[in-house]
Amino acid sequence: MNISLIDPFLLARDLPDVRHTGRVDGTVVIFDLETNGVARKLRGHTRQVQSLRFLMQNASFKVHLLFVASLFEDQPTLVDVSDNIPSKRQLPSAPKRARIDGSEINEKQAMQDAKQSTCVTVFTAQGDHIIAGTNKGWLNIIQVDSCKILRSSRLCAGVIIFLRITSSGRDLVSNASDRIIRTIPIPDFQQHWLDTDKIEFEVEHKFRDTINNRPIHHVVFSPTGDYVAASASMNHDIYVWERRNGTLVQFLEGPKEELGVVEWHPHRPFVAACGLDSGYIYFWSIDATQRWSALAPDFAEVEENVEYVEREDEFDIHPIEEIHKRRLDLENEGVDVLTVDPAKNDLEQATFSMPVLLDGMDSDSEEEVIAIGPGVMRRKSPGEGRHLNGANGVDEQSRSRKR
């Protein structure tokens, strides 16, 4: 079979559904969710692992498994586990400062930049670049192939604790030690005309706990990127901000313990949070009302159960052969269109029918029929014309008295 006709993602079908985590002793543990066991342990240092991001990308029909680890008081490491022997490459943490009028960076500033360490890293949507945050508030854009910093920008004066990119890859949210959440639009790094030296990170919105000014534990985007959810220290609720107006729109009331990591389901209206004391995972969702009437146009919804009496043969199941035979027998029967069946209802037989004289000239007496219009005849009702005779008699009596 021609390998070019095969879906390249089918080559990765033997890869299990895995999740990864970093430990305090510097070990990265990969779990297999199908067996609930440890699939692999990666050891290469003894520093504490603070952040992990996993990437599986396909290029030239070869699956690359990459993840970047931010190490405590050490340089971040990019690890490739595509082969049997993992390969490691160190990433720089010192920001790339813009030179003014070609002047060199002084020695003091260079020594300060050398002391910076990367606290958090995140892959872009395409996986070609890494956005890293340092302990001095700098954002570094690192190219994966060359492991070099393309652009650096100062975001804040504190430590950048957390970074997250939307599914579209066009927006970035950051959480810093100054207790402010920032949303930042980012460009498409795959554009060939993009000049990395002129990239500027402009903060779109700033969110914070304006009442108590609590530190933020964790922050996450909604699936569409229109909302931002976060959990705060010493608080049982989840904050939800709207990015369009930059306002707080909802408080998700939680349990009686402090919440840590918050995650939004990528396809369904679910928000999950982990309790710091008990370790329980709590879910928030929308109680959607089911519309049963959408199943059929004549389907009627009832608020409570109604007793239904079925017919004797309503739900009887007959063989298909018998049903087909009945249809053929009905087609062979002749249809009588001349015979008039008698009325089956007794009320119809006892109904009164008024006689109608179709031809007035057939009447025995001409006095009984009078004309009421052109071509319309009717019988004279009994007693009709007596009042005229009575009126003539009164006139004759009055005449005789006068005489």
Structure confidence at residue 4 (pLDDT): 36
Structure confidence at residue 365 (pLDDT): 53
Structure confidence at residue 189 (pLDDT): 79
Structure confidence at residue 10 (pLDDT): 39
Percentage of the chain exceeding pLDDT 90: 11
User: Are 300 and 307 contacting, i.e. CB atoms less than 8 angstroms apart?
Assistant: no
Structure confidence at residue 88 (pLDDT): 87
Mean pLDDT for all residues in the chain? 76
Could you tell me the CA-to-CA distances from 241 to 39, 59, 203, 209, 228 in Å, in that order? 38, 38, 15, 11, 5
Strand partners, 58: 63
353-387: pLDDT as tens digits: 665 555 555 555 555 666 665 655 666 665 555 54
22-75: pLDDT as tens digits: 677 888 878 675 676 788 888 877 877 766 655 555 444 345 577 787 777 778
Residue 148's contacts (CB-CB under 8 Å, 6 or more residues apart) are: 92, 142
User: Are 181 and 174 contacting, i.e. CB atoms less than 8 angstroms apart?
Assistant: yes
Q: Which secondary-structure segment (H or E) carries 393?
A: helix 386-402
Give mean pLDDT, residues 229-255.
Answer: 89
Angle at 317 between CA 314 and CA 320, to 5 degrees: 125
pLDDT band at 321 (very low <50, low <70, confident <90, very high): confident
